[in-house]
Structures are given as structure tokens and as C-alpha cells.
Chains A and B, each alone.
Chain A
Amino acid sequence: GESVGLHLPTLSVQEGDNSIINCAYSNSASDYFIWYKQESGKGPQFIIDIRSNMDKRQGQRVTVLLNKTVKHLSLQIAATQPGDSAVYFCAEQRGKLIFGQGTELSVKP
């Protein structure tokens, strides 16, 4: 079936710590994944993407890891800041976007 899920609905971290948000997907044929950030009152915003021919991709303070063997991907945010507080979604794109349920990240000062 089509489903992309996240392990935890909420995550609370201390400012300056690293955050890890996890996501499991069910379709082994999926070949393109994206992480989105959604702040209150706004639409999802692209953070980083990864294709299935890669297992790691780095951006500015963010890293996405893809483990195709167990159909799992994660988003790592280094030195988490208050501005990182938002809901994070992983999504699989095959023409349309199939979203997971989201993880709400709260950053404590």
C-alpha cells in the first residue's frame, strides 16, 4: 500500500543539541524522498531531498540518511535552534507527494 510514516509524533530537544527525526516507508520501489518543515500558519517548506541511489545527503545543518534495506530515512538537525521548532514531514514523491504523519519538534531554550 501507500504509506510513509514517522515513528514519533512529538520530539522535544534542548537548544544546541542535535535532533533526529525518523521516518519509515512501505513501498520498496520508492526512489525519491523529501523532508519538509511546516511552521504554524504556513505551508510545508522543502528542507532536503535524497534519491534512492544515495544513502546520505548533507545540507546546511541538516543531513538525511536513507536505509533502503529497512526502508527507513531520518533527518538530522545539528545544533538545533528555536527557529527549528515546527512539524517535520517526510514524503515520497512519485508524481504526487505521499506524506507521513509528521513529527512536531519543540526546542527548549
Chain B
Amino acid sequence: KAGVTQTPRYLIKTRGQQVTLSCSPISGHRSVSWYQQTPGQGLQFLFEYFSETQRNKGNFPGRFSGRQFSNSRSEMNVSTLELGDSALYLCASSLATGSTGTNEQFFGPGTRLTVL
């Protein structure tokens, strides 16, 4: 079956702009999580959505937001972009039927965001 897909794969924005990234999970997966990956901070959890509700949230400012649709597809939005937002943004999906979400997470290839 098809894996997790993310669009776009690459994006260049300037400071102050906003950006929306999209993630389509594996068919049947209801949980979608987002992570930011940078050379300095590594992989950091942004948030998780399950059945259109945010179930868990990391330590990122309110400029970072997300949502999930009824078909489990998810988007994340970053407003008022800063240079430090340049990163690889990864989406992962899982069955995650329990509240702790210990099911295996499958990652997409990521969206490489560059902020100039």
C-alpha cells in the first residue's frame, strides 16, 4: 500500500510569510504526527492529531499550528516565518488506536522548508 506522502517536497519562503504543509497518511491510519528536524536540535515533536483532534503538543510557539481532516489528511501551518524555521518537516502516521499511541509510526519523506 502507498506510504505517507508529503507535499510539497521543497519550499522556499521569506521571513514574515506563512506556509502550509500537507500530509496524507497511510490508508486506514488515523493518527498523524508532525516533527521538525534541524541539524542543531535534531528531531522534535510538534503535535499529533487523531480523529481530527489535537491529542498531543510539543513545545513550539503558537505560530505553529495544524489540523486534521475527516479523511485523516493533515496540514500544518507556520505563520510569520523566521529564519530559524528552516528545517525538514516530517509527518508520521500510525494506527494509534490507544490514547498512548504506541503503534509503529511510519514517516513520510518530509518537506524541506528554507526561510530566506
CB within 8 Å for A46 and B104 given contacts A95-B56, A96-B58:
yes
Cross-chain contact A44 with B45 (CB below 8 angstroms): no
For residue A81, CB closer than 8 A to chain B, the reply is no
Cross-chain contact B109 with A41 (CB below 8 angstroms): yes
Choose the segment among A15-23, A53-61, A62-70, A99-107 that binds chain B (4+ C-beta atoms closer than 8 Å): A99-107
Number of interface residues of A (CB under 8 A): 22
User: Could you give 14 example pairs across A and B, Cβ below 8 Å?
Assistant: A43-B4, A43-B109, A44-B43, A44-B107, A46-B104, A46-B106, A95-B48, A96-B48, A96-B56, A97-B35, A97-B105, A101-B42, A102-B42, A102-B43
**Hey, which bits of chain B sit against chain A, CB under 8 A?**
4, 33, 35, 42-45, 48, 55-56, 58, 90, 92, 99-102, 104-110
